[in-house]
Each structure stands twice: as C-alpha cells, then as structure tokens.
Amino acid sequence: MWLYLAAVLAGLFLLRRWHRERQTVPKLSEKYVLITGCDSGFGNLLARQLDARGLRVLAACLTQPGAARLQAATSPRLQTVLLDVTSSHSIAAATAWVRERVGDRGLWGLVNNAGIAIPTAPNEWLTKDDFVKVLDVNLVGLIEVTVSLLPLVQQARGRVVNVASVMGRISFFGGGYCISKYGVEAFSDSLRIEMRHFGVKVCIIEPGYFKTEITSAERLEKNFLAIWNKLPEETRASYGESYLKEFLVSLRKMQSRCNSNLRLVTDCMEHALTSRFPRTRYSAGWDAKLLYLPLSYLPSAFVDIVLGWSYPKPAQRA
C-alpha cells in the first residue's frame, strides 16, 4: 500500500517538474544575454546556439580573431566585445558597452563562462603566482564581472549563470582550478540568496570532464613538463621519474575519456536562461551525475580511497 502511494507521489512530482521545466520565458527575441569566454569551447557554442534561437547575444571574447570568427558564423544580431576578466579597466569598459546596448530593458542573462585550467600540478610544485593566475580568471574575474553588471541584471529581473565544475564538489588535483570552482559555488550560493528579493535567479553549471581547448592533453602535458623542469633537484628526486611518466599516462587516459559533446553543457546553460523555472544546479555529463556528485556526499575517507587509486606513488613512498 505505502509502496504504491510512494510510487504515485514520485510520479506526480516528476510529471510536475517536467511540465514546469518545459515552460519558457516569453519574448526571448527581446532578451539580451552577455556570455564571457566566447573565443572557443562552451562560450562559443552557447553564443551560436542562443543566436540561432533568436536571443540578442553579446559575446565577450578575449581576442579579436576569436571575435571575428564568431561574428562570421552567426547572424547580424550577435555583437562582440573584447573583455579580459582579469582587468578592471576592461571590465568597466565592457560594462559601459553593455549598458549602451541594453538601454532601459536591462541585461536578461549573464553567463560567466571564461576560465582557464593551468598551471596545474601537485600543490607542492606550484608557487603562489601559479595559484593566483587561475584564481584571477576563474573566481576574482567572475566576481568583478558579476558585481559590475548586476544592476543591469536586476533591472531586467534576469539570470546569472555561473560555470563551476564537479571539481567544485571534489578536489581531485592540485593548483588553483579546483579552489576557484569551490569559490564559484560559494559565491553563487550567497548571491542567489541575496538576489531572491530582486527577482534575479542564480544558476550553477557543474560539468564533468569535457574535451575543450583548456583541457587538451597537449596543453596539460606541456604545462606539467614545464613545471617539472623548474623543480629543485631534491623535489624531483623525492617524486621520481616514474611518477612523472605515470602521471602523464593517466593524463592521456583521462583525456581519452573526456566527453566531446559540448551540447550537454550548453543545453543546460540555455535552459537556465530560457526556462521560466530554471534549476539551481545543472550537472552535465554522466561522469558528473553517476560518479563525482554521488562521491561528494560520501565520507571523505571513502572518497580519498576511490580517487587515490588513480594517483601514481612518489618514489620515496612507493
């Protein structure tokens, strides 16, 4: 009896959720959306995707060639602006540019997508500057862009969509990347609570491993070897050449398992911007749904054992 009742209630809940999530925001063709990091990857695909759907896309690119390529592949509706999220001057200029374009309508959507992954390596190998380089882009830059554009988002009672990662739930490797994504989660949570009374919704995208320019095996290997070659001799001796080789092998294996279907992520972003009832969090990729997010709820001792299997052992601890 109770089992049947539970099944019925679960079915009704899922049916209601399905119905709510299919309802879209009206007059999408009048909505302005700013996306950062549109030179390549998720940002580039999302810009083209939203442009095809009729939204007024404001695509922020780091380089002029990246902006030109995007404009050539989209409609005249899409406009580009150069933006370096580590520069306060660049952010202020981009904010003024956006204000001129949106006018009294405000900015419906802000997608904080710009990010970098390197330098990354075991924490002991890195310097303060290595951490700061990643944090400046992935976290501090994201915060400054959001704070600068928030009045325009409030004006439209719109959306802020922040790209975090499953590495914002589980810190799997050293460097600033995981730290920055934990920070994005914390910033987004506090901002969501603050913005409720302004009618602004804040959504978090948590992708698993996807094959993008910043996660290319060649770039990660080059970064890793460059850091290794700068290490003091005693540090390299304590880890050993075998550690380096095993780490590079595991890096290539990880790359081979990366998902190349970026639409799984950009579809989540699009839903967060166009649905009347967006989710608070979106997990993209089966590795995120079935491995990393479930692991994040388990005891730390168990997580350490599971993730530790894929780590090579240093020479002095082998």
User: Which residues are catalytic, by number?
Assistant: 177
Distance, in Å, from the CA atom of 126 to the CA atom of 266, rounded to the nearest integer, reads 32
Neighbour count for residue 108 (Cβ, 10 Å): 25
Distance, in Å, from the CA atom of 134 to the CA atom of 182, rounded to the nearest integer, reads 13
Distance, in Å, from the CA atom of 90 to the CA atom of 86, rounded to the nearest integer, reads 8
- For residue 245, give both structure tokens: 């080789």
- For residue 188, give both structure tokens: 């987004």
Cβ-proximal residues to 45 (8 Å cutoff; 6+ apart), any chain: 262, 263, 266
Distance, in Å, from the CA atom of 86 to the CA atom of 180, rounded to the nearest integer, reads 14
Sign of the four-CA dihedral 8, 10, 11, 13: positive
